[in-house]
Structure 1
């Protein structure tokens, strides 16, 4: 297997937005899978990279985003998957984890060839990120039981698109291994 990195998308969240209450049940369902992947990546030495929306807070950094999320309405959704001191963190302002971020450079520097994607929102940020990873020639594995959605029908369609149009491998958390890029 090519050296892989676990990419955790938008899980540092205050859940203080329009779709939050629709999203929260799906996040609760996805949390065990995300926590399992996180534990597995940390044990294997594979890079763990959080790519997170900055929520329009242009003066913030990852510590401030995490502190705000842990003070937010759903701390219990953030705490189990919080970054540790070895985690890497990339701030994004748009849907894709690559758009106007240094992520591609970071992945190249780490020698990563395959991305394991998890987090939220399947039909938005995950879909666009999978496309951008594919066009940059990264292998893409999507952990379908470690994803949260707002609209289940759109999420199902997004997963089918990732698999068919972007050559993404859809796997359950139990079927994903992570190898260190080191």
Structure 2
């Protein structure tokens, strides 16, 4: 079967500027995560305000997320799981969950975003300026 009948390209919004959100949908369940969780709650509120401001200017958000070693995971599954967490971990996911149709997600193997393929990078989709925010440990 010809490739064009099997795989159809995703309609990716073109924008000279994007907001790249790195690992913000994250269970933050690792040793000594308490300090990061407290700071991440505050950061999530600020990122949410920035995202809303950029959305009003028609600037899309791209979520680049690890799959935490579970290769069969989909971003939507990780999102639902994180949003269902109690306390501040769930609050972070609920605050930063994608809500608009112009949001896109890029899922990478565990700890792989820094090595992610250029073919899926925001620059390869017409973005000249990238504003990135995220959490790391």
Same fold (TM over 0.5): yes
Match of 2:120 among 76, 96, 103: 103
User: Which residue is equivalent to 1:32?
Assistant: 45
Alignment partner for residue 3 of structure 1, among 11, 16, 24?
A: 16
In terms of Rg, which structure is larger? 2
The structural deviation recorded for 1:96 is 5.6
On the 8 A contact 1:35/1:81 being kept in 2, the answer is yes
TM-score, normalization by structure 2:
0.76
Task: Find the counterpart in structure 1 of residue 12 from structure 2.
Answer: none
- RMSD of the TM alignment (CA)? 2.0
Residue-by-residue CA offset, 1:31-65 (whole Å, 9 max, x unaligned): 22101111022211112100011111100111101
**Count, aligned residues:** 119
Runs of 4+ in 1 over 4 A off after TM superposition: none
1:62–1:89 CA contact under 8 A, matched in 2? yes
Matched, 1:81 2:96: yes
Cα distance per residue 1:16-45 (max 9 Å; x no partner): 222421211110221221011110222111
Deviation string 1:108-142 (CA, Å, 9 cap, x unpaired) is 22x10111011212xxxxxxxxxxxxxxxxxxxxx
- Picking from 68, 74, 88, the partner of 1:61 is 74
What stretches of structure 1 of length at least 5 have no aligned partner? 122-149, 151-182
* Unmatched 5+ stretches in structure 2: 1-14
2: distance between equivalents of 1:72 and 1:103? 29
CA distance in structure 2 between the partners assigned to 1:12 and 1:116 by the alignment:
17
What is the rounded CA distance, in whole Å, between the counterparts of 1:71 and 1:32 in structure 2? 18
| 8 A Cα contact 1:8 1:51, kept in partner | yes
